[in-house]
Amino acid sequence: MHTDNLLDLLPPELIPSISKYLPERDLKNARNINNIWEREELLEQILHFLLIDKSLYPALFVCRSWYRCAVPSLWKYIKLKGNDLKCYHYFPDDYTYQERDRTRLERFVKIMCEKHKPAYVSNVTHLEITYYHSLSDRKIKNIVDTFPNIIHLNFKESIGFGNRSLFIIAESYLNLRYLNLWDAEAITDKGLCAIVRSCRNLEHLNISYCRNITNESLFVIADNCHDLQEFHFAEARRITDKSICCILNSCPNLRKFDIAYSKGKIKNASTLMQRCLNIEYLDFAGVMAFYDDALIVAIIRASPNLRHLEIGGNDIGDEVTEALAHTCQKLEYFDLSGCTFISELSICNVIRSCPKIQHLSLGCCNITSTTIKEIARSRPNLKFLDLEGCRNISKKAMDQLNSNIHIENFDEDYCSDSESSSSETESEDEVAYNNDVPPPIITGTAETPNDFITAFNDYLRQVGGTLPI
């Protein structure tokens, strides 16, 4: 029986990669494992972690058993990338492309055209081909014929294929769980609906910037993909309040929902919300489809687990932020940039009510030093603050912020040493901020404008003021 310590077999450069995931004691205890299957299971864990850390290749040369177990793992995940972009598009900041990436992609395409396939093709479950503009229907047909067990397909920014490829995928990959068709310009409702009806185990679906997809597909998705956990449809052209609510109500496991920069006919669908949601991530940035705040207020009130909200660039009012303050105490990421109709009082209410918030974007919002002081007082552990276009803030207020906060887009040229640059009421507010008693929070639900005015007056009475309305 081979009883060497697995830790002794590892090349030194691999130890940090493994120790991040697997406690060292588990490796040292490996010499006490007499059951060979338990040892194999532990070895598979190690190789899995090395694969995550992209350090699997050196493990091939540890010993024969490591090579035997590692090679199939290498074939489970194939990640290829091109260097093609449409006009006015751009790569992500962390995107890198090297000569070896081009060579790998060319070699992969060549393998697809050969009669004799590699031995481990049946082990491949994850395939990514991104930023490649020559991904034709024929190539996808060869991929499907070569790799029968795919459950993860990522074709982000890859084009050249159409509905024919989607029909082929729908027929062959019934267990597909992840599908990214970002900016697949040639596909339509017909092809997407074929996949959705066949691949009912889908958990992740990204059809962002697929401009030929309409509202029809959303209803089919809601009827068939009840296991959906992530749905991305940025820049949708023709969506409605009914289709949005249909997906939210039909997918109980949905965690991420993204319809940023979408357009359509969304008026008042608050009555269509039927259940409490498990949504943790919402991206409604620049959704010009909203005619009023009722739908988004209803979604927020039904999402107590919300952690990430992007809603910048919308003409929303205080009803949205007040719903957020009362419901979403788990909020960590909040982007309100460009929402000029939100009052400073309501913004401060969110800051006070969401103790876990780490990222705050307030670009071009109507804030003064009062908001900065509220952040300094109640959220000293904030990690990121965006103040683009925020000019009515004093240097004295900025100096109160924790030095560990990463501040972006704040122009110090507009930051005066005197308090005159801030609002006239700031000196009155300072009395409330210079003691240990936190300012009162607006309570109530504010379902109508009159409700909010009443709550606002209650707040003013608590701090000794009144508002003549």
What torsion, rounded to 10 degrees, do the Cα atoms 31, 37, 38, 44 define? 100
What pLDDT, on the 0 to 100 scale, is given for residue 385?
98
Examine residue 100 and state whether it is found in any structural domain, yes or no.
no
Residues of the domain holding 332: 307-469
Decide if 97 is inside a domain.
Answer: no
* Domain finish residue from 62, 81, 106: 62
Given a contact cutoff of 8 angstroms between Cβ atoms, the answer to whether 289 and 265 are in contact is yes
Instruction: Judge whether 160 and 134 are in contact, CB under 8 Å.
Output: yes
Which of 17, 34, 62 is the last residue in one of the domains?
62
Query: What pLDDT does residue 62 have?
Result: 54
What is the distance of C-alpha 213 from the center of its chain?
21
Say if 191 falls within a structural domain. Answer: no
Supply the CATH number for residue 365's domain: 3.80.10
Residue 263 pLDDT:
86
Which pLDDT does position 327 carry in this prediction? 96
Are the C-beta atoms of 55 and 17 separated by less than 8 Å?
Answer: yes
Distance spanning both ends of the chain, measured CA to CA: 86
> Which pLDDT belongs to residue 37?
39
How many angstroms from the chain centroid is the CA of residue 298?
21
Count the Cβ atoms, other than its own, within 10 Å of residue 406. 10
Which of these, 85, 157, 80, 143, lies nearest to 111 by C-alpha position? 143
* Domain total of the chain: 2
In a structure prediction context, what are the per-residue pLDDT tens digits for the chain, which is 469 residues long?
A: 344 455 555 555 555 555 454 554 444 454 443 443 344 555 556 555 555 545 555 555 555 555 555 555 556 888 999 998 887 777 888 888 888 889 889 988 888 887 777 777 888 999 999 999 999 999 999 999 999 999 999 999 999 999 999 999 999 999 999 999 999 989 999 999 999 999 999 999 999 999 999 999 999 999 999 999 999 999 998 888 888 889 999 999 999 999 999 988 766 555 566 678 899 999 999 987 666 788 889 899 999 999 999 999 998 999 999 999 999 999 999 999 999 999 999 999 999 999 999 999 999 999 999 999 999 999 999 999 999 999 889 999 999 999 999 999 988 776 655 554 444 444 444 444 444 445 555 544 445 555 555 665 665 555 555 444 4
Q: Mention every residue, 6+ apart, whose C-beta is less than 8 A from residue 302.
A: 273, 275, 276, 277, 279
Q: What is the pLDDT of residues 182-210, one digit of tens each?
A: 999 899 999 999 999 999 999 999 999 99
User: What is the C-alpha separation between 411 and 392, in angstroms, rounded?
Assistant: 11
For residue 246, tell me if it sits in a domain. no
Per-residue pLDDT of 75-105, as tens digits, reads 688 899 999 888 777 788 888 888 888 988 9
Please check whether residue 234 lies inside any domain of the structure.
no
Q: Computed from CA positions of residues 264, 268, 271, 276, in that sequence, does the dihedral angle turn out positive or negative? A: positive
Taking a C-beta distance cutoff of 8 angstroms, is the pair 351, 378 a contact?
A: yes
- Side chain identity at 170, as an amino acid letter? A
Task: Point out the domain boundary residue: 62, 84, 110.
Answer: 62
- Give the span between the Cα atoms of 169 and 68, in whole angstroms: 31
The answer to whether 290 and 266 are in contact (CB under 8 A) is: yes
Residue 316 covered by a domain? yes
Residue 88 lies in a domain: no
Domain for residue 94, yes or no? no
Coil, strand or helix at 89? coil
Cα–Cα distance between 21 and 6 in angstroms, integer?
Answer: 15
How far apart are the C-alpha atoms of 339 and 245, rounded to whole Å? 24
